[in-house]
Structure 1
Amino acid sequence: MANDGLAPLSDAPSLEGMDYDERVETMVTWFLENFEDPVNETPYNSREGGYLYIHGGPFEAQDFIPYAFPDASEDEHQAAIDQLDADGPDYAPNGSRVLYPDDDYDEEEYLNLRRPLGIRLDQLAGQLDTVRSHVEAILALQAEDEKKPAGIGHNGPPPDEDVLSLADVLASIEEVKAELAKPDREVTANVEVVQRAEGRFRQLFSWVGGVLAAGVGFAVTATAEGFFSKVGEKAFEYVERHQAEIIATTQSAAETLASWADAVMSII
């Protein structure tokens, strides 16, 4: 289900006047007001394994606790983090922070998933154009945000293969467009291309959620091939302004790609 963004993190309470245990418990409580175990509401990809963090994530307590509570000691921070990480470090945004659009949107999305695959593939071409325009705009704005003397901030380690590259999203869009142009595309498409695009699109709307949850400076990685060292102000403002369309279009396209891959695989 697509969302219309996330409510901001709640204000961190003051720890003044509390003893050690109370301070640790307050930090844990605050974190759980804003984040939750993904098993609660996060969809699970049974085909490939792993959660689909459609509202951003996974997030870790160690990335938030020290900054939300700068007056706490390092030992107190670590005690709270250890308590939160006891069952695993990965968290999704708390469901109470997810902002949904009006009710008839869900009905439209439901009906779209019931349409014949051929009709959905016709719609996919337009969705790809929409996603491409947003990705190109984000990359252009990020380039403006990153204007600085050569070499500064560009000497980090190579990006992890699981980190989203917007350049890869653009490449997948072109690959899928080529598959859409094939005769008998519903049964002759290259499954590897379609599944790769689905994965990248799911990464994209998860990434958007992560940007919105974390704000300006959301870390990604190096810049050379569509990666960011950190999301800049202009790029963040664009994502925030267009979040509803980006998430809805990308998620709908990903669902169509998944159905398309299943259809081709069913006859192989």
Structure 2
Amino acid sequence: MDSHFGSVGDFQGYSAEEMSAMSSQEQVAIMVEWFNQQFEDPQNETPYNKDLGGYVYLWGGPFDASDQIQAEFSDAVDFDTMMLAVDRVQGDGTLEWAPTTGGDFYEHPEDDRVEAGEIVDGDGEWSPIIPDQAPVPPEPEARAEVIRRLDELEAIVQPLLDKFEAEAQAPPMMGHNNPPEELEIVQAVSRDEWR
């Protein structure tokens, strides 16, 4: 089977003949598009550890643009053209890359343990993903059970409500603390003296 270059998801990529028939600018555009679909700046999704002063690449990486583009396209594109694509990808200053969640390089650690058979649904260490369900009782029995439980709950709550209402006092209203007595106005200077 012929090799294909730049495959992403369901897209199978381009054959070596198709790549060689393209202009250098078209090849660069395809490589940049492929890279951007596979990788992203780690600040987008990758956790950052302030204590260590760097990103924690939980899902793979860090990846180098030059290494990845050469690994994917070296059999179909010349080195100088690949370096043009690398320069365009790294133009914003990002030199270490993280995988995108939809890309082929994304490694989710829990998936690996499930695929390897280390984690089995409900194996004791992990609870089942789909819990065992009890048989569903007929509707009249289920309704009677719900009513019985509500009656039990009401029997527990009602004495508490009664006690609360008995101890509760009416909320204070405006003026409940009686206004202060009127003060005598003491005038140091009589009114006649002011005239």
Give the TM-score band, short-chain normalised: 0.3 to 0.5
TM-score where L is the length of structure 2: 0.45
Greater gyration radius: 2
- Structure in which a larger fraction of residues adopt helix: 1
- Higher RCO (C-alpha 8 Å, min separation 6): 1
Greater fraction strand:
2
- The TM-score with structure 1 as length reference comes to 0.34
